[in-house]
Amino acid sequence: MKVINLHLELQADLNEEELAILKKHGNMKKSISRDILVPYDMTLHALSYAIQRSFGWLNGHLHNFSLLDNTFNKITEEKFVNWTLMAGIYFRFPSEDWHDIYWDDDYRKNENFRAWQKRKYTGPYKYKGLGEHYICAQKEVDDLREEYEVITTRKLDVNDYRKIEQYQVNLEDASIEEVCLSELGFMINCKELLERLPLRNILVPKGHDRADWNTIKKYIKDSTINRDPIGEYEKFCTTLFPSKKKRHDYLDNLNIDTLPITDELIYSYDYGDGWKVSITMEGIYNTDLTGKWMLNGEEVEQDLIKDLNYVIDKYRPICIKKDGIELVENVGGVHGFCEMLKNIYEVNIFDDEAVENAENVYYWAQSLGWKGKMISPDKTL
């Protein structure tokens, strides 16, 4: 049995006043962060719901998981053709099919929202969409190559962004930047990771070795399946496998396992508010032959055993440590959240208008489920 320990930390460039506000009114010591134990086979998709719950968000906006820029650039060598090799293996092919992307977003009005969220991050974890499967993504890659053999891209003058030089380049020779600055830019976001991936298949514990690009490239070349099914895409979706279960089983069997490539992921939520959470793996707990829980060859503390057994028995993550109170949806990101706390708690009591505004802001935040107080780790998830 294995359990992963994750550290989730809100990324924020705060000034001294904002830091003081969060420490005084947000119950923050060092950073707004959560430490959670999760099942070993938990997917990024299920983790998204756990992150939402952990930080107090309501799943009302777009989100994605991505690599750090330097990691992404290193494993792709910034070449679009390298990225296409990993579409459907590591990366999501860009799509505006929201029904497919949010295949399990089935919340119903009047349903208990917390119970719904909890169901989403409780195992077993099974992807039931289409677009993230290897064959489906590679079919999109083939269609793109067929339609855009040559693209028109542009070069910006770093000294004067009003000056734009356009030129053409073969898609197969293009850099990722050239593709993003071309007519395909509106539809190509190469950095989003597949959410069907289990954490263990992409993330390594801090300080541990990860696969380099040459290893990944050789692995993909050696693992690449017979591409014949790509040409049968329409057929297997409609004729060969009319049963959804059989279709998904077929697609699952054609997916390629991944090698862990990073020790840090970024979770982005609500692109307008700009929330970003850093995700690192602090360690992997496992049981030895006698059934004792171990970490790096050493027996774990007795207090943690109950939580580890909970994760296994309930097939569900649990929060074991947190810093900072819950956040609020639609508040304008971390800077807006600091401003909200300031308006509520540092109001001039002799200014009637300011007091009324503070009350309105407080009740608005409450309407979004905000408690304004610290929720204990064991009641967070």
Is residue 276 within 8 A of residue 8, CB to CB? The reply is: no
Distances, alpha carbon 71 to alpha carbons 12, 161, 183, 189, 262, in Å:
20, 27, 26, 16, 7
Q: What is the pLDDT of residues 46-101, one digit of tens each?
A: 999 999 999 999 999 999 999 999 999 999 999 999 999 999 999 999 988 888 99
Is residue 230 within 8 A of residue 171, CB to CB? The reply is: no
C-alpha 320/C-alpha 53 separation (Å) is 14
* pLDDT for the residue numbered 5: 97
Is residue 63 within 8 A of residue 268, CB to CB? The reply is: yes
C-alpha 362/C-alpha 331 separation (Å) is 12
How deeply is 38 buried, as exposed, middle or buried, from its count of CB atoms within 10 A (0-12, 13-18, 19+)? buried
Q: Which helix (H) or strand (E) holds 143?
A: helix 134-147
Q: pTM of this prediction?
A: 0.93
Q: What is the pLDDT of residues 246-258, one digit of tens each?
A: 788 888 888 999 9
Top-confidence residue, 231 or 115: 115
Return the residue matching tokens 């004792």. Answer: 292
List, as one string, the DSSP characters of 12-55. ----HHHHHHHHHHS--SS-SEEEEEEETT-BHHHHHHHHHHHH
227 pLDDT exceeds 70? Answer: no
C-alpha 90/C-alpha 197 separation (Å) is 8
Q: Please report, for the chain, the start and end positions of each structural domain, with discontinuous segments joined by +.
A: 2-15+30-325
C-alpha 75/C-alpha 86 separation (Å) is 10
Report the pLDDT averaged over residues 102-107. Answer: 92
* pLDDT for the residue numbered 248: 82
C-alpha 334/C-alpha 17 separation (Å) is 13
What sign does the dihedral 239-242-248-249 (CA atoms) show?
negative
Assess whether the previous peptide bond of 317 is cis (omega < 30° from 0): no
* pLDDT for the residue numbered 79: 94
Q: What is the pLDDT of residues 288-302, one digit of tens each?
A: 888 899 898 889 988
